[in-house]
Amino acid sequence: MQEAAGVLKEGFLVKRGHIVRNWKVRWFVLLQDKLLYYKIEGGKKEPHPKGRILLDGCTITCPCLEYENRPLLIKLKTKTNTDYFLECCSREERDSWALDITGAIHAGHPVQVQELHKMKNSFKLLENISLHHIVEKMYDNSTGIKLTRNLEQGNRYKETFTGSALVDWLISHSFAVSRFEAVTLASMLMEENFIKPVGARSTEAMRYSDLSEQFLDDSTALYMFAENSNKNVSSKEELQFNIAELSGTIVKQGFLVKQGHKRKNWKVRKFVLRADPAFLHYYDPTKEENRPVGGFSLRGCLVSALEDNGVPAGVKGNVQGNLFKIITKNDIHYYIQASSKAERTQWIEAIKPLT
């Protein structure tokens, strides 16, 4: 997974299949005029691309809301009307990919690219804010956002709030200091599938507006909590798992390749690093349910880079380069591969303070 000449960007994305509509992780390489994607076998990129997306005449939709349980999608429609759905691991990564792909599509139009950069730079998450924390406060019976019934064009909606009411609430609870900041925050709550637009006014804005104008600070635009943001937990064990381990602040997330414990095969997983409490969870990015397939506490763990010359002890298969190892306090060994030395260093430096 080395840098190649003419490569504008590369990394893992989850792609929907064309014939069988399943989701597979692929390694994507963005060139000036095309997007190539490769299969990863045994932690190594195959030498020849599995497919290519020609960018000439492409249109891009971001965010793409066609799959309710996949809020981090980019949709590309080619000149021949073929649709490609690509999923990223975080909002920041999705916006970065969308910006770079759009830049490649409009490479001959520098003014449009400049406008895109302006739009992107004006739309950033405020530091040290947890969206989960905001949503918890919104649900609070006494101080949370007031839910009302609303009529719009003959439709009756239960438990909704208006765009301007949410902006007022965010400011009054000190999550934002200006209406612009509050709109940015509300847009992120919507994009991360915590809230959703209902009714013609807000839904239309979501479909047709620019990224920075999709949430409306308006008393006629209706929103409600997304159905899957506060699902009842089915068992006591799962409740403990969610509260104890998944309540920490997300420090870092991204796609990494992990060696299995039993079969020793290598699979791409989405890793999420949390602090307070310090946990590292990993998810199967091809599945729709947003539940970890594994994870462990970082307290008492050891993390270290592995040498790139030869195959280290404990590593199975023809996997070399950018590996690191985490040993838990229960002496369980995790072997993980990053896509570059720099990414490996970033992960190790993020994990170490939490051990």
Answer yes or no: is 145 within a domain: yes
Residues 251 and 288 in one domain: yes
Can you give the CATH number for the domain in which 285 is found? Answer: 2.30.29.30
CB-CB contact of 14 with 267 (8 Å): no
Q: Which two tokens stand for residue 15?
A: 């792609």
Residues 139 and 115 in one domain: no
Reply yes or no on whether the pLDDT at 153 is more than 60.
Answer: no
Reply yes or no on whether the pLDDT at 25 is more than 50.
Answer: yes
Residues 150 and 75 in one domain: no
Closest CA to 305 of 351, 274, 264, 273: 351
Mean pLDDT over the full length of the chain: 82
Q: Read out DSSP for 286-310?
A: TSSS---SEEEE-TT-EEEE--SSS
Mapped onto helix, strand or coil, the DSSP state of residue 274 is: strand
Residues 22 and 87 in one domain: yes
Answer yes or no: is 156 within a domain: yes
CB-CB contact of 185 with 176 (8 Å): yes
Helix axes 131-139, 179-191, angle to 10 degrees: 90
pLDDT in tens, 92-137: 888 889 989 988 888 755 555 555 555 555 444 445 567 788 888 8
What percentage of the chain has pLDDT greater than the value 70?
83
How many Cβ atoms from other residues are within 10 Å of residue 337's Cβ?
24
Reply yes or no on whether the pLDDT at 2 is more than 50.
Answer: no
Answer yes or no: is 278 within a domain: yes
Reply yes or no on whether the pLDDT at 165 is more than 90.
Answer: yes
Last residue of a domain, one of 170, 201, 228: 228
Residues 342 and 265 in one domain: yes
Answer yes or no: is 155 within a domain: yes
pTM of the model: 0.65
Residues 115 and 182 in one domain: no
Last residue of a domain, one of 121, 140, 173: 121
Residues 171 and 215 in one domain: yes
Last residue of a domain, one of 93, 121, 149: 121
Strands in 59-183 per DSSP E: 59-64, 73-77, 83-87, 148-152, 155-162
Answer yes or no: is 126 within a domain: no
Closest CA to 49 of 64, 24, 21, 28: 28
Q: Is the peptide bond before 312 cis (omega within 30 degrees of 0)?
A: no
Burial level of 172, CB count in 10 A (0-12/13-18/19+)?
A: exposed
Residues 136 and 117 in one domain: no
Answer yes or no: is 35 within a domain: yes
Task: Tell me which of 229 and 270 has the higher pLDDT.
Answer: 270
Answer yes or no: is 1 within a domain: no
Which residues have CB under 8 Å from 274's CB, separation 6+?
A: 245, 246, 247, 248, 249, 250, 251, 280, 281
Helix axes 179-191, 163-172, angle to 10 degrees: 110
Q: CA-based angle 59:217:173, to the nearest 5?
A: 120
Query: How many domains are contained in the chain?
Result: 3
Residues 148 and 177: their CA atoms lie apart, in Å, by 25
pLDDT in tens, 6-17: 889 999 999 998
Answer yes or no: is 38 within a domain: yes
Residues 19 and 76 in one domain: yes
Closest CA to 213 of 122, 142, 348: 122
Residues 13 and 323: their CA atoms lie apart, in Å, by 20
**Pairing state between β 249-259 and 222-225:** unpaired
Q: How confident is the model at residue 233 (pLDDT cuts 50, 70, 90)?
A: very low
What pLDDT, on a 0 to 100 scale, did the predictor assign at position 238? Answer: 45
Can you give the CATH number for the domain in which 150 is found? Answer: 1.10.10.10
Residues 307 and 259 in one domain: yes
Residues of the domain holding 344: 244-352
Residues 116 and 11 in one domain: yes
Residues 116 and 150 in one domain: no
Helix axes 110-121, 91-105, angle to 10 degrees: 170
